[in-house]
């Protein structure tokens, strides 16, 4: 999709751009509901799990498209010019110069989005269990003791987050150091 | 140049972490003297003049500036630093104008905030300084709209607006296109003639010879040679100063190795 | 399609409540965030460290979990918040956590030379911050501030889960009452689309105006 948006083929780039911008502007939860309920009503019935995978998948695909685009555009134009001046083909420039260079600027954003994705899996219960919670809530019959459950979930999510942000950050640093 | 010493450097050593940048530097700057510091890239020229106005701290030794004493390893009080910065102006290689302020606001900011001058008084002084460099009609422009040479002249005006006793210049022309260097150097030379005390890091050897009273050659973590400008530049006594000057005065290569093709001539 | 016509009014009203919450919580979050960033940068080890971990918690825990802890979790200890106050407290707490990072990055991005020039002129730290660093940091971080406000808006989608009567809540009620969720959620999606477009537009026009000096 990132390549699509930057493509020189006009319709392709326009469609990719519009799609990315639209999906990016809609909250994840609304996307999940659209996939689960709205598609369901026009006959595409998905299980909660399938809807979650499709919804989150579509949403994060577009976010990743943006991450890649930013990374590719971020490569110093001098690199591009130098490669073209050396007579590399358009495709080789992209494959051998731009993408490897971009990889390192993309890495932090990519891991960042990954940790967002993990957090957003917490929304999935809204298209399965949510109705229960919603009803319980609107009847204001909150009698359960949820704190323990929250604490456990919180610890697990936070560990995931720390591993992703800290450990990967260190790995990135090492990769960068070994290159310079 | 008088006998009064306004900057007295004694045994100053500077490290970044474990790395020694320079060791045991001593130097006197007299009132109205112009001292040019030269030397290869990376020897610590910038670091040294930043020690004089305490933009960098240093580890050992003392620096007396205008009766204030900086001691290695100790941090001066806020009031002392304030007084130091009031009497020492600095001009940077990269100009460092405040991009979000107009030329005029760049110049009047410190006089108004630090010296509590009235705005009108500060503006009058700023316009006077700008007129000296022919930029009075650019007062309301943002720095990015000026050429590098114009920006640097504004930066000098900004420092002068605080009416300093001493001016530090860190390679004021090395970021400029060659045709813009002249205007800036000419301004600095005029300033020297007014009797301003100056410490100036530069790569402009001709300028140093003409304007400086004293030339200091830095090499290998210290001062390799120091003396009257003409003497040091024309007949250096030490081998280290000689070899540095040979390289800067004859950058293309020795006559026996004619450097006709640009094959790696840029060895930075 | 008549469900849309039937519910459009309440959906728009719900949308207004989301907008109000977004505006109020963003303003408060930005103010707290600016303070937090200064604390983080200059507050020393204890204050700086506490703010660091606060930001990490806000960024590391799923939003929905944070909201539920506030609303359901605290009530277990006898602290009963009504949906509106829980919503505001959470949005502000969450937005402030992000704002700290936005401000901090903005402040750190101002070139070292600007600090040096200000110090050499004798400007003290307070004036340097106020007159030199913050104005430049603000312009540099405007795009991230816009993103933050869009994020706040998107976070309002979660509030129906604690019974705050916003757009999503109305859509949910409508969906249950009519057994026709499809069109209603499409309307919700469009509303969010339009609202984020408006925020982004305002943001980019501010960017243009603020960056006139560049
Ligand atoms: N803030 C810093 N931290 C660590 N090392 C530095 C710092 N500033 C300069 N250096 C190092 O100190 C040495 C001297 O730098 P500098 O004073 O800029 O040299 P010059 O101005 O003579 O070219 C260089 O090797 C540089 O890498
Ligand atoms: Mg230097």
Domain locations along chain A: 2-179
Task: For residue C81, give Cα distances in angstroms to A125, A126, A131, A141, C91.
Answer: 23, 22, 22, 14, 14
- What is the SS3 assignment for C46-114? HHHHHHHHHHHHHHHCCHHHHHHHHHHHHHHHCCCCCHHHHHHHHHHHHHHHHHHHHHHHHHHHCCHHH
Interface touch B100/C124, C-beta < 8 Å: no
For ligand 1, is residue B45 a contact (CB within 6 Å)? Answer: yes
Whether pLDDT at A133 is above 50:
no
Averaged pLDDT of chain A: 72
**Helix H or strand E segment including B87:** helix B78-87
Total domain count, chain B: 1
| A22 touching C (Cβ < 8 Å) | yes
Q: Which of B100, B110, B155 sits opposite C122 (nearest CB)?
A: B110
Residues C76, A165: C-beta atoms closer than 8 Å = no
CA distance A50 to A29: 15
- Angle at the Cα of A78 from the Cα atoms of A74 and A84, rounded to 5 degrees: 110
Q: Is C139 at the interface with chain B, CB within 8 A?
A: yes
pTM of the model: 0.78
Q: Do chains C and A touch (3 or more CB pairs under 8 A)?
A: yes
Q: How far apart are CA B52 and CA B29, in angstroms?
A: 11
Strands lying side by side in the sheet with B60-65: B19-30, B5-16, B60-65, B68-71
Name the residue range of residue B239's domain.
5-249
Mutation choice for C interface testing from B53, B57, B88, B113 by most C CBs within 10 A:
B113
Report how far residue B234's alpha carbon sits from residue C55's, in angstroms, rounded to the nearest whole number.
62
* Residue given tokens 């409508």 in the structure block: C174
Kindly tell me if the per-residue pLDDT of B202 is higher than 60. yes
Q: Which range has the worst mean pLDDT, A158-167, B159-168, B217-226, C18-27?
A: A158-167
Higher pLDDT, A94 or A137: A94
Nearest-CB residue to C114 (from B86, B98, B114): B98
Closest approach atom of ligand 1 to CA B40: 22
- Residues of chain B found within 8 Å of residue C212, distances taken between Cβ atoms: 142
Residue B76 belongs to some domain of the structure? yes
What is A2-179's CATH topology? MetI-like fold (1.10.3720)
The larger pLDDT score, comparing residue B131 to residue C172, is at B131
Neighboring chains of B (3 or more beta-carbon pairs < 8 A): C
Q: Decide if C172 contacts C187 (C-beta within 8 A).
A: no
- What is the model's pLDDT at position C157? 84
pLDDT, tens only, B77-113:
888 888 899 999 999 999 999 999 999 999 999 999 9
Q: What is the mean pLDDT of chain B?
A: 89
Contact B34, B198 (CB under 8 A): yes
Return residues 29-48 of C near B (CB < 8 Å).
none
pLDDT category of residue A139 using cuts at 50, 70 and 90: very low
- Parse chain C into domains and list their residue ranges: 2-97+148-212
In terms of pLDDT, which residue wins out, A3 or B147? B147
pLDDT in tens, A57-76: 888 888 788 778 777 777 76
Least confident of B216-220, C65-69, C77-81: C77-81
C123 interaction partners in chain B (CB closer than 8 Å): 109-110, 113-114
Confirm whether B86 is domain-assigned: yes
The answer as to whether B185 is a domain residue is yes
CATH class of C2-97+148-212: mainly alpha
Would you state the pLDDT for residue A145?
A: 60
| Nearest-angstrom CA–CA distance, C41 and C48 | 7
Q: Is residue B154 part of a domain?
A: yes
Protein residue with least CA distance to atom 21, ligand 1: B46
In a domain, B239, yes or no: yes
Let me know if residue B262 belongs to a domain: no
The more confidently predicted of residues B40 and A19 is B40
Write down the pLDDT at residue A144: 56
């Amino acid at each position: 999709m990132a390549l699509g948006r930057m493509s020189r083929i006009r319709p392709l780039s326009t469609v990719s751009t519009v799609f990315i911008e639209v999906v990016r502007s809609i909250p994840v939860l609304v996307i999940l509901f659209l996939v689960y309920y709205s598609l369901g009503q026009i006959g595409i019935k998905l299980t909660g799990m399938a809807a979650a995978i499709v919804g989150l998948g579509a949403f994060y695909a577009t976010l990743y498209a943006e991450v890649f685009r930013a990374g590719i555009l971020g490569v110093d134009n001098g690199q591009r010019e130098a490669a073209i001046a050396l007579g590399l083909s358009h495709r080789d420039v992209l494959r051998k110069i731009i993408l490897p260079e971009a990889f390192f600027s993309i890495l932090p954003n990519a891991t960042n989005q990954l940790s967002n994705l993990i957090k957003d899996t917490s929304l999935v219960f809204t298209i399965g269990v949510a109705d229960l919670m919603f009803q319980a809530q609107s009847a204001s019959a909150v009698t359960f003791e949820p704190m323990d459950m929250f604490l456990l979930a919180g610890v697990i999510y936070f560990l995931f987050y720390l591993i992703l942000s800290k450990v990967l950050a260190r790995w990135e640093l090492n990769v960068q150091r070994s290159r310079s | 140049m008088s006998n009064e010493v306004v900057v007295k450097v004694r045994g100053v050593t500077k490290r970044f972490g474990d790395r020694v940048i320079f060791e045991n530097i001593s130097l006197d700057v007299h009132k109205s003297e112009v001292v040019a510091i030269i030397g290869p890239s990376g020897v610590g020229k910038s670091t040294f003049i930043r020690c004089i106005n305490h933009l960098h701290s240093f580890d050992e030794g003392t620096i007396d500036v205008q009766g204030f004493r900086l001691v290695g390893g100790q941090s001066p009080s806020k009031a002392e630093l304030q007084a130091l910065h009031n009497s020492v102006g600095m001009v940077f290689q990269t100009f460092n104008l405040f991009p979000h302020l107009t030329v005029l606001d760049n110049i009047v900011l410190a006089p108004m905030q630090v010296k509590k001058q009235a705005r009108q008084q500060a503006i009058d002084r700023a316009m006077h300084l700008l007129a000296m460099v022919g930029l009075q009609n650019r007062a309301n422009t943002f720095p990015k709209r000026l050429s590098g040479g114009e920006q640097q002249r504004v930066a000098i005006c900004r420092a002068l607006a605080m009416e300093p006793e001493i001016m530090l210049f860190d390679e004021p022309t090395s970021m400029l296109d060659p045709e813009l260097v002249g205007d800036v150097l000419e301004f600095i030379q005029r300033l020297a003639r007014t009797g301003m005390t100056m410490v100036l890091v530069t790569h402009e050897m001709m300028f140093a010879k003409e304007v400086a009273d004293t030339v200091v050659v830095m090499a290998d973590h210290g001062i390799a040679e120091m003396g009257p400008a003409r003497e040091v530049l024309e007949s250096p006594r030490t081998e280290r100063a000689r070899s540095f000057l040979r390289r800067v005065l004859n950058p293309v290569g020795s006559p026996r190795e004619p450097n006709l093709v640009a094959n790696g001539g840029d060895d930075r | 399609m008549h469900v849309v016509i039937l519910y459009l009014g309440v959906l728009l009203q719900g949308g207004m409540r989301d907008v109000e919450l977004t505006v109020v919580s963003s303003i408060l979050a930005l103010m707290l965030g600016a303070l937090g960033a200064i604390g983080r940068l200059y507050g020393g080890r204890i204050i700086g460290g506490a703010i660091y971990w606060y930001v990490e918690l806000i960024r590391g825990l799923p939003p929905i979990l944070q909201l539920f802890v506030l609303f359901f979790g605290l009530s277990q200890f006898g602290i009963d918040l009504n949906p509106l106050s829980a919503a505001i407290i959470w949005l502000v707490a969450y937005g402030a956590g992000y704002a700290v990072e936005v401000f901090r990055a903005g402040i750190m991005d101002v070139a070292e030379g600007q600090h040096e020039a200000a110090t050499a002129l004798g400007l003290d730290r307070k004036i340097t911050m106020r007159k030199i660093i913050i104005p430049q940091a603000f312009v540099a971080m405007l795009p991230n501030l816009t993103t933050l406000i869009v994020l706040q808006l998107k976070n309002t989608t979660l509030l129906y889960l604690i019974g705050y009567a916003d757009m999503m809540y109305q859509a949910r009620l409508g969906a249950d009452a009519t057994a026709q969720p499809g069109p209603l959620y499409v309307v919700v999606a469009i509303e969010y689309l339009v609202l984020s477009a408006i925020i982004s537009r305002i943001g980019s026009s501010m960017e243009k105006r603020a960056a006139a000096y560049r």
